């Protein structure tokens, strides 16, 4: 058996360790959540409205030529229908 003073010291050390661990864990979770929000703030698609003019990313770039002067976006196009929060139907340029 341990002496009561030694066992109380061990209990105090364990309680202190749990307190430090929980505090550190909560702080790390808060930092991770803030980091996640910051990273995704500009990643998520913007809400568009029907009739709004938009530019379309040009994914058909010729990789054998220099990209410096090529058009990265085409348009403007008009949004004609909202399919989901991030998918829209656009009217072809006329």
| Distance, CA of 88 to CA of 82 (rounded, Å) | 5
Q: What is the pTM of this model?
A: 0.46
- pLDDT digit string, tens, across residues 21-78: 999 999 999 999 998 888 877 666 678 899 999 988 877 777 777 777 777 888 899 9
Are the C-beta atoms of residues 77 and 91 closer than 8 Å to each other?
Answer: yes
The three-class DSSP label of residue 91 is: strand
Which pLDDT score, from 0 to 100, does residue 61 have?
72
Q: What is the DSSP string of the chain?
A: ---HHHHHHHHHHHHHHHHHHHHHHHHHHHHHHHHHHHHHHTTSPPP--TT-EEEEE-----TTS-STTS-SEEEEEEEEEE-SSS-EEEEPP-
Which pLDDT score, from 0 to 100, does residue 25 have?
95
Domain ranges of the chain: 1-44, 53-91
Residue 4 has pLDDT above 90, yes or no: no
């Amino acid at each position: 058996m341990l002496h009561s003073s030694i066992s109380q010291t061990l209990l105090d050390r364990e309680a202190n360790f749990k307190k430090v661990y929980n505090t550190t864990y909560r702080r790390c979770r808060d930092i991770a959540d803030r980091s996640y929000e910051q990273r995704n703030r500009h990643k998520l698609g913007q809400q568009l409205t029907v009739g709004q003019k938009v530019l379309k990313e040009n994914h058909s770039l010729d990789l054998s030529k220099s990209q410096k002067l090529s058009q990265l976006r085409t348009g403007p196009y008009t949004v004609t229908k909202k399919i989901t929060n991030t998918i829209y139907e656009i009217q072809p340029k006329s």
